[in-house]
A = this chain, B = another copy of it.
Amino acid sequence: MTPHGVVETPVFMPVGTQATVKAMTPAELEALGVSMILSNAYHLHVRPGEDLIARAGGLHRFMGWRRPILTDSGGFQVFSLATMRTIREDGVEFNSHVDGRRLFLGPREAMAIQKDLGSDIAMVFDECAPYPCNHEYACQAMERTLTWSAVCSQQARAAGQQVFGIVQGGTYGDLRRQCAERLAVMGFDGYAIGGVSVGEPENLMLESASAGLEPLPVDAPRYLMGVGHMRQIVEAVALGVDMFDCVIPTRVARNGSAVTRTGRYPLKAARYKEDAEPIESGCACYACRNFSRAYVRHLLNTDEILGIRLLTIHNLYCYMDFMRDIQTALEAGAFTQFRKTIRETVVKE
C-alpha cells in the first residue's frame, strides 16, 4: 500500500530515469498493466532539479503518472556514472556526468531530493561497491552504507513516503548477512539488495542476495535492485523477493532487439527481411497484433522512432506478462513447477 495505490507483488518496475519510461506515455504504461515505476533522484537532481519538480506539484504530476513511484537515491549513479569522486563522511563530491559541474550528494541531500520529488518509496543513500572488490573494501562500503542509512532514517519525508534500507556487502555472504541484520534493527519500511548485477557471475549474485535476504523481517517488502533477466527474477522470487526493476526491456528495444522467453532477437538481422510473423508469435501486445518483423526491421533500418516504440511496447509487455504468470503460479501453488519449466526453457542470455 502506497499513497498512490496498492501494488500486487511480485512486481516489475519499468525504469523511468529522467521522469519518463523511455519512448512510452503514461497511458501506454497503464494499458500494459504497469503498477509502479522507478525513477532516479540523481538524474532528476541534475536535470531539471527537484526544486522545479516540487514547484510543479511533485514527480507524479510533473510526468503525468498517477500510480506509485519508487525513487533510487542516487547512490548507484554516483558510483557508476559520476567522475572525480571524493568520498567523505557525510557523502560524495563528484562531477556531473552531463556538464561536469561539481555536485555533492549524501544521505541528507538524497532524502531531501526524494522528499521534494514526492515518490511513494524512497531509497537510502548507499555506497555501491564495484565487482570485483576485496572483502576489506566491501566491508568499508557496507559500514558507510549503514552509517548513511541511519542518517537517512532520521530525515523528513514526503506525506506517506516509505523508506527502504539497502543491503550492501558485495559478493560476500557474511557481509550481506551482517548488513541485513543491522538494517533490520534500525527498522525500515522495506529492504533492498543493492550492488548486484554489476558484473558478478549469476550464481554469486543469487547466493549473496540469499544471504542478505535471510535475516530480513518476513513481513517487509524485499526488492532486488536492477535485476534482471527473466530467469533470475524467478530464482529471486523463490528466495522471497517481491520487487524488481531493470532497464533490459527498454534498453534492449532501443538497441533494436526483441525480448522473448526464448531469447533475444536482433530484428535488424537480414533473416527478418521478409518475415511476416509478429515480433513474437502468439504475443498479444499492440506491436505483435498489428505489425510484422519485416516492418519493424524496415523501421529500425530507416532510424524511425516507431521501430523503437514497437519494440519497447513488446519488451515491456513480455516482462509484465511474465510477472502475471509468476503471480498466477504462486496463487495456484504451482510455482515450483513454473520455476522448473523456466529453468528448462528460458534461454540464458
Contact = CB atoms under 8 A, between A and B. Distances in A.
Interface of A: 18-20, 22-27, 47-48, 52, 55-56, 62-64, 273-274, 276, 286, 290-292, 294-295, 297-299, 301-302, 304-306, 308-310
A305 B250 CA distance: 12
Given A18-B302, A19-B299, A309-B309, 19 more contacts: A18-B298, A18-B299, A20-B299, A22-B305, A23-B305, A24-B306, A25-B306, A25-B309, A25-B310, A27-B286, A47-B301, A48-B294, A48-B301, A52-B274, A55-B274, A56-B276, A64-B290, A305-B305, A305-B309
A273 B52 contact: yes
A294 B47 contact: no
Contacts of A309: 23, 25, 305, 309
Contacts of A47: 298, 301-302
A292 B57 CA distance: 11
Contacts of A55: 274
B306 A20 contact: yes
9 contacts: A18-B299, A20-B306, A47-B298, A48-B273, A52-B273, A56-B274, A62-B294, A62-B295, A305-B309
A267 B111 CA distance: 31
Nearest to A306: B20
Given A52-B274, A56-B276, A301-B47, A62 B292 contact: yes
A69 to B, nearest CB: 15
**Which of A27, A297, A305, A308 has the most chain B CB atoms inside 10 A of its CB?**
A305
B52 A304 contact: no
Contact of A56 (B62, B294, B310): B294
Q: Which 10 A-B pairs have the closest CB atoms?
A: A23-B305, A64-B290, A18-B302, A48-B298, A20-B306, A20-B304, A64-B291, A62-B295, A47-B302, A305-B305
A183 B27 CA distance: 49
A62 to B, nearest CB: 6
A304 to B, nearest CB: 5
Given A23-B306, A48-B301, A56 B18 contact: no
Contacts of A23: 305-306, 309
Given A23-B306, A27-B286, A302-B47, A295 B63 contact: yes
A273 B19 CA distance: 15
Contacts of A18: 298-299, 302, 304
B294 A52 contact: yes
Contacts of A19: 295, 298-299
Contacts of A298: 18-19, 47-48, 62
Contacts of A297: 48
A255 to B, nearest CB: 14
Nearest to A21: B306
A292 B25 CA distance: 14
A19 B276 CA distance: 16
A26 B290 contact: yes
A335 to B, nearest CB: 36
A46 to B, nearest CB: 9
